[in-house]
Amino acid sequence: MSYKNCAMIITMSSDGVVQRAYRFRFYPTPQQEDLLRCTIGCCRLVYNKALAARTEAWTTRHERIGFAETSRQLTLWKNTEELSFLNDVSSVALQRSVRHLQAAFSNFFNQRGDYPEFKKKSHGGSASFMRTAFTWDGRDLKLAKMGEPLNIKWSRTLPRSAKPSSVTVILDAAGRWHVSILVEEHVKPLPKAGTQVGIDMGLTDFAITSNGEKTANPRFRKRDAQRLRKAQRDLARKRKGSNNHRRAMLKVARIQARIADRRKDFLHKLSTRIVRENQTVVIEDLAVKNMSRRCKPVADPQQPGRWKRNGQTAKRALNRGITDAGWRMLRTMLAYKCEWYGRQLVVIDRWYPSSQICSTCGKNTGRKPLNVRAWTCPACHTTHDRDVNAAKNILAAGLAVNVCGDQRKHRDALSQCEA
């Protein structure tokens, strides 16, 4: 097994100036809501038409259409009779939709994302406005073609003398309105800390650190599983396209939004505490998408309409637990917070056998089933907690790459992987 390029180190930029988005809830008037819904719908239409045009050009003629050609097509669409309503909304928001599609294709061609998908009305939507399409006086925000400022609930204060570079209005699937204000801010690095920590992710305990601290897994989806299950059953009984179906969809979306909000709040608090207390943070590069592959249910021939209670039931429960945990979201938060505050994040290879190696003597004792939570090393007779031992090995592997850039030490640490 090759361990070439198995670590990634993320450090803070030298200038300390970052672009930071502040998100707030706002409550539009009926007139503002009509205009915003029309703007979001037009942005979604332009995005989908541009995506269809670019896809059709490539599949039929093997022709690649870029941003300039798509912008010219947008102008032609606005001059047609059937799409003349595009002139009723801000042209800046429509142009930004084309920009977002171009960014999605760039990520796809650079292997940073999947092929762009068509946007759905049921998922809500968003519209972005640049400086020429909104006015900001330090207190009130007014968008283009809007006579009154937005009624924003300022849950936190913006930096002094902040000048927003862009504003994004977001309508989520639960019917809530948010505004995201992007500003440039100078983030002051935190004082240097003399501690390092390795973190092992789990399901029984969400995060286990190398110093023995365990953070319980809150399991937010499991808490609301009964309410969500009932709401989804009610939704399945409604006729698609009816008002009852839309109301049932909104109820499901609100439950899911509540779960997502609590999960994000928990991860923000945990990641901030980890970054404040430690100078170096080491984590594993977990392949969450591969770990949470969906299992097909198996029908029970003896009980029609029911599924067999076999090993796949446990697999589906495991998959739900992995997707509910939010491991990737924690890694993303740790990455940008370490960059902001002058910390260092080291990501070691996903194939590093952290749970197989004894953190005391370095002996590789082989694979262990998930039900083995504690084990004794046959070489040094040290009894280990499975997760704490893995966290210690993760920290050791991360520090091996970090010490003066000495890759030899890292290869020595990884050489224990060979059985």
Backbone angles phi, psi at 87, to 5 degrees: -75, -10
Q: How many residues does the chain have?
A: 419
**Residue with the two structure tokens 């801010």:** 185
Q: Angle of helix 407-414 relative to helix 386-402, nearest 10 degrees?
A: 150
Annotated active-site residue 277? The verdict is no
Other Cβ atoms within 10 Å of 387 Cβ, number: 22
Provide the 8-state DSSP code for 190.
Answer: P
Structure tokens at 52: 């269809």
Residue type, 129: F
Annotated active-site residue 137? The verdict is no
Structure tokens at 303: 């009980």
**Which residue in the list 324, 339, 349, 387 is annotated as catalytic?**
387
Tell me which residue of 376, 370, 331 sits closest to 358, measured CA to CA: 376
Strands 134-136 and 141-143: antiparallel
**Which residue in the list 15, 200, 285, 418 is annotated as catalytic?**
200
Q: Which spans in 294-385 are helix H? A: 311-325, 327-340
The span from the CA of 358 to the CA of 71, in Å, is 59
What single string gives the DSSP state of each residue in 114-158?
-------GGG-EEEEEEGGGEEE-SS-EEETT-SS---EE-SSPP
Tell me which residue of 303, 329, 392, 308 sits closest to 355, measured CA to CA: 392
Residue 64 half-sphere exposure toward CB, CA atoms < 13 A: 5
Annotated active-site residue 387? The verdict is yes
**Which residue in the list 213, 284, 285, 412 is annotated as catalytic?**
284
Three-class DSSP category at 281: strand
The residues carrying an active-site annotation are 200, 284, 387
